[in-house]
């Protein structure tokens, strides 16, 4: 019987199997009367009789086999190969706000390298009083801070500019993760090297690059560098994963993920932006008139309903329904999220699960009752600056459809009477 529910949420066949159960659920909804005694209760089950695994069966545990579909997925046609590519966090299947490292999206420009703590060096040079080299052990001797921040790729939702394209929250909004970072403030390290040589800091920059072949060098204004940027070596309490920059990455709160340089090896204080490949040919946003915006660092307020959604359909029939979603803003804390069931005609204010933190994911819920009718589900976030997440039409009016990056539009899921959901665009 439980075989029925083991399918892949991304698979249509699995959904159809699930919908059989949904019909059964609909029949019993409200009545809540069993057809007969449940053997799972009346019969002694093997797990209630014998032994389970001993301790140390898995010295470092992985999710139980029943959760094997909660994994990162890529879209192969997006990139030329998988070493310079992207995959997506299964946000449709996660709850709360902290993203487990093992399923947090990956973006590499030359593959995820294996760099040991022993081989790790971090250089600070340029307009500093004293160019320095730190070992990994050195970094662990500076005063530490802990902060939770979201990291969103600038291209998240980028495939949706010209229309509804990818059918799943994982694919449309999964270039995001949210972790608790432990690290040293970049300010601490810059002050260690001394900034007197830089003179007036207001027009100075830092250039950060990684140890991998891509280097992924990016320029960041000194004001941001001294504000809240972290040089992080732990995430969610443990070492960073290789694919997220082990042993040390940059954390640039609220700003596009490309700036969060992994395998961080060099920080240079400069008198101008370097205008590297990643800040000219990429991560610049072409407007309708062919002119491109550059230095579009901040990720504007955005939200997404993670369930129900195309990969997470309603399988329980009518009655109580939890609409669950995520909201975030690179400008600060989320203050409110509204949910619409009718494609934006009317809105209800959702419940925020906890006090929102600045530049971190906020979980929201709309606890509602589903009557089995179709819904056009939307969420709309507001942040502490008063900014209201725009519609795709509003974005297109200003930017056209060729920006690739920074698409923070309101998303629509069409929930059909059977509970299946689809990515659609509405008028």
Partner 1 sequence: MSKYLEIALIAGLTVGMTASASMAEEHGLGREALPEEIAAWDVKVMPDGRGLPEGSGDVWTGDEAFGMYCASCHGDFAEGVGNWPSLAGGMGTLDRDDPVKTVGSYWPYLSTVWDYVNRSMPYGYAQSLSADEVYAITAYILYSNNVVDDDFTLSHENFAEVEMPNADGFIVDDRPETEYPDWRGDPCMEECKDAVEITMRAAVLDVTPQDEE
**Which positions from 65 through 104 interact with partner 1, judged by CB under 8 A?**
69, 73-77, 79-81, 84
DSSP single-letter state for residue 256: -
Beta bridge partners of 220: 206
Which residues fall within 8 angstroms of residue 398, CB to CB, at 6 or more apart? 287
Site stretch for partner 1 (CB under 8 A), options 37-45, 100-108, 228-236, 383-391: 383-391
Binding partner 1 by CB under 8 A: which of 164, 169, 240, 415?
164
Among the residue ranges 29-37, 221-229, 239-247, 281-289, the one whose residues contact partner 1 (CB under 8 A): 281-289
Q: DSSP letter at 4?
A: G
Cα gap 134→123, rounded to integer Å: 6
CB of 6 to partner 1, least distance (A): 10
Tell me which of 214, 258, 309, 324 binds partner 1, using CB under 8 A. 214
Distance of closest approach, residue 330 Cβ to partner 1, in angstroms = 11
Interface map 170-199 toward partner 1 (x if CB under 8 A): -x----------------x--xxxxxx---
Q: Does residue 10 interact with partner 1 by CB under 8 A?
A: yes
226 in contact with partner 1 (CB under 8 A): no
The CB density around residue 274, as the number of other CB atoms within 10 Å, is 18
Question: d(Cα 122, Cα 183) in Å, to the nearest integer?
Answer: 14
| Tokens found for residue 71 | 């994994």
CA distance 380 to 268: 39
The one segment of 100-108, 234-242, 265-273, 359-367 that binds partner 1 by CB under 8 A: 265-273
**Of positions 1, 2, 3, 13, contacts partner 1 by CB under 8 A:** 13
How far is the C-alpha of 94 from the C-alpha of 150, rounded, in Å?
15
SS3 103: helix
- Answer yes or no whether residue 152 interacts with partner 1 by CB under 8 A: no
Of 395-414, binders to partner 1 (CB under 8 A) are: 398, 401-402, 414
Among 46-54, 239-247, 286-294, 362-370, the segment contacting partner 1 (CB under 8 A)? 286-294
User: What x/- string results for residues 25 through 64 when contact with partner 1 is judged by CB under 8 A?
Assistant: ----------------------------------------
Of 21, 344, 365, 372, the one binding partner 1 (CB under 8 A) is: 344
Residues found in the chain = 427
Q: Tell me the closest approach of the beta carbon of residue 48 to partner 1, in angstroms.
A: 30
Strands (E), 121-271: 121-126, 132-135, 145-152, 176-185, 205-210, 218-221, 230-235, 238-239, 249-251, 264-270
- Residues numbered 105 to 134 that lie near partner 1 (CB under 8 A) are 109-110, 123-126, 129-134
Residue 293 binds partner 1 (CB under 8 A): yes
Q: Does 148 bind partner 1 (CB under 8 A)?
A: no
Distances (CA, A) of 69 to 84, 107, 303, 399: 24, 20, 24, 37
Rule CB under 8 A: is residue 200 a binding residue for partner 1? no
Of positions 20, 67, 237, 294, contacts partner 1 by CB under 8 A: 294
Is the dihedral angle over the CA atoms 159, 161, 162, 168 positive or is it negative?
positive
Report if residue 277 touches partner 1, rule: CB under 8 A: yes
Residue closest to 214 by CA, chosen among 124, 81, 76:
81
Q: Which stretch binds partner 1 (CB under 8 A): 9-17, 221-229, 233-241, 315-323?
A: 9-17
Which CB sits closer to partner 1, 238 or 342? 342
Among 106, 243, 256, 268, binds partner 1 (CB under 8 A): 268
The H or E element containing residue 322 is strand 319-328
In angstroms, the CA 61 to CA 376 distance is 39
- Tell me which stretch binds partner 1 (CB under 8 A): 146-154, 318-326, 352-360, 382-390: 382-390
Q: For residue 115, count CB atoms less than 10 angstroms from its CB and return exposed for 0-12, middle for 13-18, buried for 19 or more.
A: buried
Question: How deeply is 43 buried, as exposed, middle or buried, from its count of CB atoms within 10 A (0-12, 13-18, 19+)?
Answer: exposed
């Amino acid at each position: 019987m439980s075989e029925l529910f083991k399918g892949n949420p991304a698979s249509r066949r699995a959904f159809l199997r699930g919908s059989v159960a949904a019909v059964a659920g609909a029949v019993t909804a409200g009545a809540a009367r069993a057809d007969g005694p449940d053997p799972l209760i009346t019969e002694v089950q093997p797990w209630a009789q014998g032994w389970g695994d001993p301790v140390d069966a898995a010295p470092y545990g992985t999710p139980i086999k029943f959760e094997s579909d909660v994994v990162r997925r890529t879209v192969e046609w997006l990139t030329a190969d998988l070493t310079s590519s992207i995959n997506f966090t299964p946000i449709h299947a996660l709850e709360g706000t902290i993203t487990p490292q093992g399923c947090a999206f990956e973006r590499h420009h030359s593959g995820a390298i294996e760099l040991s703590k022993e081989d790790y060096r971090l250089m600070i040079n340029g307009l500093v009083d004293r160019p320095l080299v730190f070992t990994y052990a050195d970094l662990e001797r500076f005063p530490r801070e802990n902060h939770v921040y979201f990291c969103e790729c600038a291209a998240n939702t980028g495939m949706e500019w010209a229309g509804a394209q990818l059918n799943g929250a994982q694919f449309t909004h999964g270039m995001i993760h949210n972790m608790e970072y432990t690290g040293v403030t970049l300010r601490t390290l810059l002050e260690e090297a001394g900034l007197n040589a830089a003179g007036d800091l207001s027009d100075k920059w830092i250039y950060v690059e990684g140890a991998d072949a891509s280097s992924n060098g990016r320029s960041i204004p000194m004001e941001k560098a001294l504000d809240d940027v972290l040089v992080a070596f732990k995430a969610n309490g443990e070492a960073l994963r290789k694919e997220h920059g082990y042993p040390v990455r940059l954390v640039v709160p609220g700003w596009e993920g490309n700036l969060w340089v992994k395998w961080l090896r060099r920080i240079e204080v400069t008198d101008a932006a370097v205008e590297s490949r990643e800040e000219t040919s990429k991560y610049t946003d072409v407007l309708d008139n062919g002119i491109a915006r550059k230095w579009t660092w901040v990720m504007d307020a955005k939200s997404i309903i993670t369930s129900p959604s195309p990969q997470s359909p309603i399988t329980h029939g009518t009655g109580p329904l939890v609409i669950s979603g995520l909201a975030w803003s690179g400008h600060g804390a989320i203050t409110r999220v509204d949910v619409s069931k009718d494609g934006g005609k009317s809105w209800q204010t959702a419940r925020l699960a906890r006090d929102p933190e600045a530049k971190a994911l906020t979980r929201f819920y709309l606890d509602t009752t589903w009557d089995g009718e179709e819904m056009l589900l939307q969420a709309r976030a507001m942040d502490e600056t008063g900014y209201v997440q725009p519609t795709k039409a509003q974005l297109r009016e200003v930017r056209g459809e060729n920006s690739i990056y920074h698409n923070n539009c309101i998303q629509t899921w069409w929930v059909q009477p059977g509970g299946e959901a689809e990515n659609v665009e509405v008028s």
